[in-house]
Amino acid sequence: MASNGGWPNGARAAFAFTVDNMGEAADLDRNLWPDSQLIGSHVSVTEVLPRILALLKEYDVPATYFIESWNLSVYAEAIRQISSAGIEVAWHAYRHEAWSKLDEKAERDNFTRSFDAMADFTTSEGKGLVGPYRGFRPPGGIIHGDRTLKLCREHGLTYISPSAEQGAVVKLDGGVDSIAVLPFKWRTVDAYYYMDAFAGLRKVKGELPDEAQDPDVLVRKYIEEIDNVIETGGYLSTLFHPFLTNTPEQLQAMEQVLRHLVQRRDEDWMLEHPGVVGDDPQWDNTSWR
């Protein structure tokens, strides 16, 4: 994006295109997965994920996928494919536990179990492609203050992506240590628009009607947020869930957001590097009528 002198390489704003949740991990944690249904063949992994990976490749957009560590032993091949596509594999709890409800012991145990699973995966299934984790997105977006941040640093994480309005660097231990906060806003989370379960949050925020919204509303709001952060020179994370990108309309909405991101990225890059393209467009004035 065009320069304001604040971001690397003269960029005006910083964006993270992110994906959350894999397979049936969250449903299992909430006891919503039917006992009769096989584990390891979730449609969001077998059918939706390849389409998302194809879109990211087509538009040449780097991304981060926050994945529950439970999936490392269930969807190993899919995770290898994600990493091979140049997408960062980041951490999203062990099985999508509601992070704000974890007590101190449960939180620490979740770290231990998850990072042990990644260590095993890295040395066996990962074969050098994946890990270790660098970032964490807490399910639900809420953390336990410094307690969570210190656990992140103990486990080698360099950033965390909770629910917040602004990117920041938070100092820890009296300034001896620090961690980057690369947050998400609910306004750029697809579930905030699509899911009936988010009616309460929509009401609290007062930005949308209580009822679930169509993909065109999501696209309009995402684009507003993208354009606004370019003007203000900030940071923005856009967030999609594969299980909510399972219709042609929802996949098209993701593509429209990607297209707009790329358009803004490329047009601003050309303005900053006019020597690359020159100053004569060689107009074509032929007409079809």
Q: What is the pLDDT along the chain (289 residues), one digit of tens a residue?
A: 433 447 887 788 999 999 999 999 999 999 999 999 999 999 999 999 999 999 999 999 999 999 999 999 999 999 999 999 999 999 999 999 999 999 999 999 999 999 999 999 998 876 667 879 999 999 999 999 999 999 999 999 999 999 999 999 999 999 999 999 999 999 999 999 999 999 999 999 998 999 999 999 999 999 999 999 999 999 999 999 999 999 999 999 999 999 999 999 887 544 454 554 455 544 444 433 3
| Residue given tokens 């620490």 in the structure block | 108
Classify domain 8-186+235-241 at the CATH superfamily level: Glycoside hydrolase/deacetylase (3.20.20.370)
Q: With CA atoms as reference, report the closest residue to 62 among 21, 90, 22.
A: 90
Q: In what order do the strands lie in the sheet with 64-67?
A: 168-172, 177-181, 159-160, 135-136, 88-91, 64-67, 14-20, 235-240
Which pLDDT belongs to residue 149?
97
Report residue 281 as tokens. Answer: 């467009």
Quote the CA–CA distance of 88 and 20 in Å, as a whole number.
Answer: 12
C-beta of residue 199 within 8 angstroms of C-beta of residue 147: no
Which pLDDT belongs to residue 278?
53
Pairing of strands 235-240, 177-181: unpaired
C-beta of residue 75 within 8 angstroms of C-beta of residue 45: yes
The 3-state DSSP class for residue 194 equals helix
Q: Length of the chain in residues, anyone?
A: 289
Q: Please list the residues that pair with 20 across neighbouring strands.
A: 66
